[in-house]
Structure 1
């Protein structure tokens, strides 16, 4: 109930162009949860971050490179790489579209820099034993609020650094407080459907299939796989195979093999 109420309030605030409306709703619902929800409790203010396992052993530079290169492990490594690449590409493309950071050809402006930053962050996170510091679709909440520059990313990075030491405060924000923001961003992204070229039936239907199955499976890579494979098959069956480029075919075949081999995550 609180989630739906929060979503409705966000609609109203965004219609009135209230600055930070999404953040205000999250704060308001969190305060209400703290007052009325017994599961939302103040658990302190400060906590030292830890990069150690349950036995107290440090995870920093705790690498097993030779073990990762064993033939039995390589399929898992490939699965992680494929998932990371297409998950990051799809997410960055979606967020860039929401922020109007696409050129006239629909390509991501400075997309190479964005992917490089995402890759380097993930590598560094692995070296220090942390979860992948990759781009997440939740970033679209920031673009929806108007954040489109490097200043936004810098501020968010500083806040993430602070929350490492103030992690108990995160327990004050229940799931139903952040859910309205994510639902609103998802609805905003539906506006991109209007940009599909419905005069090209195969292209439009493949795009819709991709979008629908990302939602149904909660997996960006699965949606991309179905979208690419349906585009290739549709082009061939309609006699429009000349419209296909080699890159599209390679990606479609790789993704289908990825799933057929049971390597999908």
Structure 2
């Protein structure tokens, strides 16, 4: 094992790697609860999402461990699950059809992993749009957390308003949120997971949570028929593109960030990049056939790196722990049914995703406004695809009229025209 993962060359040990793997798992295991909670709201059976989440995470992280040999974990990404649910609601289509878009995005991602088109696509899209998209998704999922918990409610006069603090669910959410924030501020490993556990205990004592069991035989994973023809019949091409684009940016950026922290980068290059990207692409594609939204590299992997993780052994430990978690479906099902337990995670993860805003050149208006338009439109329209479309339309347009048209890659002009046509003739709502 030491030789296979190159532990001596990476100046680490088996014990350190195991501790790092456990640390990473504890910081991201919330997805096993949150992902089924979000997708089940779109009509997907809870147990199906539960098993799909675990198996896609174990698969992607396992491939990362054995082939890329990096301490980076893969699992269904936050933001994409919320977008999945919003597509089902806003487009009036079946969740099987939306799984078809995820499957197609995964296939395209696999193909791009073998070509230089992926690098061209990443390089052609300016930083302001990339950071705007990530931050917009952060606002989007934080808003969902606020809405789920009753902190923000519908208001006929102002569209939204402040909720009723006399509601038990809202009070429990606020208590869980402040507790988790304290743990985060104190840099406690697994703060999100610990916050959920304590909130669940409080909910149980308050009579808001009841268990029909804790441990059981895992539900049987089920491959199901995706409605691929429906994707083309309803023209869900923007949805496919949104899943693909966000997954590529999120995964690539996270992998590079974690690799730099772990000292893996060599002369500015990411070793075994194709294997690492393939891990995510395969997890997304297989996950769609099992019943979950796209997978992504997790920034929580940095917690394991901070604990000393430097090799694929860290990721292998994470993969095995995900498989172990499938035996706790009754407890996880009960916890996910109480929105006050999962809502604080959505709000805090939304904050994590705002980091890129500091890197946008707000003093240059033709850079700032497209990012601002994305930030504004994603939560207000409840559509990540709409936010991406608006950004891709406004950026080349503003550069063109400001005399900087040559700074824009031709791909952006093509995307801009496509999105204008899509929004005029094939609107999302």
Equivalent position SS for 1:87: helix
TM-score by length of 2: 0.48
Deviation per CA, 1:11-70, whole angstroms, max 9, x where unpaired? 322222222222211110011112223443233421342345xxxxxx46x689xx84x9
Is contact 1:83–1:264 with CA below 8 Å preserved after alignment? no
Corresponding residue for residue 88 of structure 1: 247
Corresponding residue for residue 56 of structure 1: none
Cα deviation for residue 231 of structure 1 reads 0.6
Residue 419 (structure 2) pairs with residue 255 (structure 1): yes
Distance 1:217 1:24, change over 3 A: same
Deviation per CA, 1:138-185, whole angstroms, max 9, x where unpaired? x45x25x72467566544433432333431121242332222122112
Corresponding residue for residue 26 of structure 1: 196
Residue from 163, 169, 181 that aligns with 2:331:
169
Cα deviation for residue 261 of structure 1 reads 4.2
Equivalent position SS for 2:294: coil
Q: For residues 286 and 250 of structure 2, what CA distance do their matches in structure 1 show?
A: 20
Corresponding residue for residue 35 of structure 2: none
Corresponding residue for residue 2 of structure 1: 172
Residue 388 (structure 2) pairs with residue 224 (structure 1): yes
Give the 5 Å matches for 1:1-265.
Answer: 1-52=171-222, 59=223, 68=229, 73=232, 76=235, 78-79=237-238, 81-92=240-251, 95=254, 115-126=277-288, 129-132=289-292, 134-135=294-295, 139-140=298-299, 142=300, 146-147=303-304, 153-173=315-335, 174-262=338-426, 264=428
Q: For residues 175 and 250 of structure 1, what CA distance do their matches in structure 2 show?
A: 42
Distance 1:164 1:154, change over 3 A: same
Deviation per CA, 1:55-103, whole angstroms, max 9, x where unpaired? xxxx46x689xx84x9x9465464553232123135436756986969x
Is contact 1:45–1:168 with CA below 8 Å preserved after alignment? yes
Equivalent position SS for 1:83: helix
- In structure 1, the gaps of 5 or more residues are 53-58
Q: For residues 254 and 193 of structure 1, what CA distance do their matches in structure 2 show?
A: 27
Equivalent position SS for 1:254: helix
Cα deviation for residue 113 of structure 1 reads 5.3
Equivalent position SS for 2:244: helix
Deviation per CA, 1:216-256, whole angstroms, max 9, x where unpaired? 33433322221121111211222221221112222333333
Is contact 2:172–2:203 with CA below 8 Å preserved after alignment? no
Is contact 2:200–2:209 with CA below 8 Å preserved after alignment? no
Q: For residues 200 and 230 of structure 1, what CA distance do their matches in structure 2 show?
A: 14
